[in-house]
Amino acid sequence: MGEAARRGGAPLYTEEMETRMNAVQRRGRLQTGLVIGMLLAPLVAWNAVELFWLRPRPLPAALLAGLAWLGWRLWHGRRATRLPLGVLAALSGLTGLAMLAAGRADRNPVWFLACLVFGLVYLWCGWILLRSRDLPEWLAYQHHRQADE
């Protein structure tokens, strides 16, 4: 058992990664987790609402499945996933803000807040995926780690 785990600083299952990763790779891991979580959260909520209303539709489920698959590939170090996921996130954010600017969300305050908040969040996710310097380091680490296993 490692010293950090003995002191209670980190769980035992993270000890190997914490001792083998540098600070840039740790920041890239954090950014990747935040981006995947923020991209999936609205789709999970959308699917939950659809199921609650007992009218599930194939589009929200397909979007959730596709984005979860892309997120899984990104987490496991597939560098080719970074560009399409970043472009999709940025385009989704711009679409939300464009709908807001066009006045399509004026009558419904929930739709207005969704367009505003998720538009900005998705733009941030796209920016991180496309412009972060830490993310490639993390993806390279994960890719080599997956190849070794």
Closest CA to 127 of 77, 89, 81, 78: 89
Alpha helices in 53-108 (DSSP H): 58-75, 82-101
What percent of the chain shows pLDDT beyond 70? 87
Packing angle, helices 82-101 and 23-52, rounded to 10:
50
Distance, in Å, from the CA atom of 111 to the CA atom of 117, rounded to the nearest integer, reads: 10
% pLDDT > 90, the chain? 58
Task: Please determine, for residue 19, whether its predicted confidence score (pLDDT) is greater than 50.
Answer: yes
Q: Tell me the pLDDT tens digit for each residue of 40-86.
A: 999 999 899 989 988 888 999 999 999 999 999 999 999 899 999 99
Asked whether residue 73 is domain-assigned, the answer is yes
* Phi, psi of 63, deg, nearest 5: -65, -45
In a domain, 11, yes or no: no
Q: Give domain status of residue 14, yes or no.
A: no
Is the pLDDT score of 1 beyond 50?
no
> 133 lies in a domain?
yes
Look at residue 38 and tell me whether its pLDDT is greater than 90.
yes
Residue 75 belongs to domain spanning: 22-143
- 16 within some domain: no
Count of structural domains, the chain: 1
Q: Give domain status of residue 6, yes or no.
A: no
pTM, full prediction:
0.82
In a domain, 99, yes or no: yes
Please report whether residue 106 resides in a domain: yes
